[in-house]
Amino acid sequence: MERQIRNKKVLVTGGAGFIGSNLCQALVNQENEVVCLDNFLTGKKDNIISLTAYENFKLIEGDIRNIKACEEAVKGVDIILHQAALGSIPRSIKDPATTNAINVDGFINVLIAAKNAGVKRIVYASSSSVYGSSKKLPKIEEDIGEPLSPYAITKRVNELYAKVFADIYGMTLIGLRYFNVYGIKQDSYSTYAAVIPKFVSTLIKYESPVINGDGSFSRDFTYIDDVIQINQLAALTNNEEAYNQVFNVAVNDRNTINTLFDIIKENLASLDSEVSTIRPVYGPGRPGDIPHSLASIEKAQKLLAYKPENKLKDGIKKTIKWYFDNLK
């Protein structure tokens, strides 16, 4: 089975974001014609500035809430990797309307534009947040709970729309439930920055990161290279059992936030010894947070031949040097 997309025209929505820009870089390197659609609401031009010099990379500055932008972006495309979304559970609680407009209305626009243009294969980003109130571990794709945030609702709605479009219009849509993805180019300065870049950016300034709650919550942290791997596997698979399915994207290994902090601090301290004395500050928990997250990846292993290669210590070691060089 092919494991890398080559010589295709690929649309990456949200291509200037953290995951999207890493996908764009990999696809350009693999001699694909890559179209990046992004409105730069959360994506960063710096993430793709080096790609603009490539002849096989095209940037369309547009919004998935605009059907015309979607129609322009899908022209002649073989595969769509849909990453565009307004992330963050806290942001969705603060502003559910905008989260819904981008994550649901925008998603429908992408599907409609793809359908009308005859694009058959769409791989789209879902989220582990759809497991919501379910306390069962590990998380299995067919057993979800009630959503705990507007963001989680939008991602579940994406999955439902994908199933309907597949059934009615004969399209192939594969959903990927991301579990706490981290790696290079992840935003450190946003109010809603993910925990790893937030910890790193704070420690580099010799300040104490805030841990929400007592640090005992656990996550299945997933390195960006493994996310790139499964996007390509899902885009290329000829296994009909995998069509119109949803897959966990994780490592099947969980670590507490306290353990995460210790690993980050240890790696940064090897570059800057002053970091070694910093301790975290503990604050209140966040509404809508899932206490524990651990994914079963058996379905992805069986149907997509997914093989994650990075445990947390490995991924953090690869990531820290980039943060240190870019944030210092």
What are the catalytic residues? 151
CA atoms within 13 A on the CB side of 5: 30
> Which residues, in sequence order, are CB contacts of 205 under 8 Å at separation 6+?
none
Closest alpha carbon to 43 in 96, 102, 89: 102
Closest alpha carbon to 214 in 282, 295, 152, 308: 282
DSSP annotation of 104: I
Paired tokens of 87: 């992330």
As a whole number of angstroms, the distance between CA 213 and CA 132 comes to 18
Contact 203, 209 (CB under 8 A): yes
With residues binned 3-state (H G I as helix, E B as strand, rest as coil), the percentages for the chain, rounded to 5, are 45, 15, 40
Phi (first) and psi of residue 122, to 5 degrees: -130, 125
As a whole number of angstroms, the distance between CA 29 and CA 38 comes to 20
As a whole number of angstroms, the distance between CA 263 and CA 110 comes to 39
> Which residues, in sequence order, are CB contacts of 222 under 8 Å at separation 6+?
178, 179, 180, 181, 182, 249, 250, 251, 308
As a whole number of angstroms, the distance between CA 239 and CA 260 comes to 36
Paired tokens of 239: 């296994």
